[in-house]
C-alpha cells in the first residue's frame, strides 16, 4: 500500500472514534465496504461478497490482519444468524486459508474480536495475529 493510501485508511479508522462524526464516518465506511471495496487504499489479502481482509494499517504484531464484514455490524452481539451465516462461513474459510498460507500452525496465532469497552472501533472486525511472520 502506498504511504498516501495508508494515511487515508488510518484517517478513516481514526474518524470512527470521534463521537461527533461517528455516524457519518460509520456510514462512509459502510458504503466503502459494501459498494466500493475496490477503492479502499489497502492491500487486500482476501475479498468475498461478505468479507474483506487486509493488513492492519497500524499493526500491533508482526503479522496483524483485519477481517471485516461488508455489512454494517456494530458488534459481535449484533450478528444475526440468518443474515450473517455466509459471512461467518467466509470468515472461517478465510482464516483457515491464511493460517495455512502463512504457516501459522507452527508460528502460533490468535483470532480476536473485541467488544464492549474493549472495542475501540465501532464496527465489528476480527484480528488474526501472530508474534512471528512466517514465509511471507
Model pLDDT for residues 52-74, shown as the tens digit of each residue: 999 988 889 999 999 999 888 88
What's the domain range around 107? Answer: 3-130
Q: What are phi and psi of 20, to 5 degrees?
A: -75, -25
pLDDT digits (tens, 9 = 90+) for 101-128: 999 999 999 999 998 888 877 789 999 9
Asked if the structure places residue 7 within a domain, the reply is yes
Task: Give residue 100's pLDDT.
Answer: 96
Task: Give residue 64's pLDDT.
Answer: 94
Q: Which DSSP state fits 19?
A: T
Asked if the structure places residue 26 within a domain, the reply is yes
Asked if the structure places residue 57 within a domain, the reply is yes
Asked if the structure places residue 14 within a domain, the reply is yes
Asked if the structure places residue 135 within a domain, the reply is no
Number of domains within the chain: 1
Q: Which DSSP state fits 122?
A: S
Instruction: Specify the CATH number for the domain of residue 18.
Output: 3.30.428.10
Q: Which residues pair with 130 in a beta bridge?
A: 63
Amino acid at each position: 500500500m502506498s504511504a498516501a493510501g495508508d494515511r487515508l485508511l488510518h484517517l478513516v479508522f481514526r474518524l470512527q472514534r470521534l463521537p461527533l462524526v461517528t455516524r457519518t464516518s460509520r456510514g462512509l465506511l459502510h458504503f466503502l465496504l459494501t459498494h466500493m471495496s475496490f477503492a479502499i487504499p489497502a492491500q487486500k489479502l482476501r475479498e468475498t461478497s461478505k468479507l474483506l481482509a487486509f493488513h492492519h494499517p497500524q499493526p500491533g504484531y508482526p503479522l496483524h490482519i483485519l477481517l471485516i464484514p461488508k455489512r454494517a455490524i456494530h458488534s459481535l452481539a449484533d450478528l444475526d444468524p440468518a443474515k450473517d451465516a455466509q459471512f461467518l462461513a467466509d470468515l472461517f474459510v478465510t482464516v483457515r486459508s491464511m493460517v495455512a498460507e502463512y504457516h501459522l500452525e507452527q508460528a502460533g496465532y490468535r483470532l480476536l474480536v473485541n467488544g464492549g469497552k474493549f472495542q475501540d472501533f465501532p464496527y465489528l472486525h476480527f484480528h488474526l495475529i501472530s508474534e512471528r511472520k512466517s514465509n511471507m
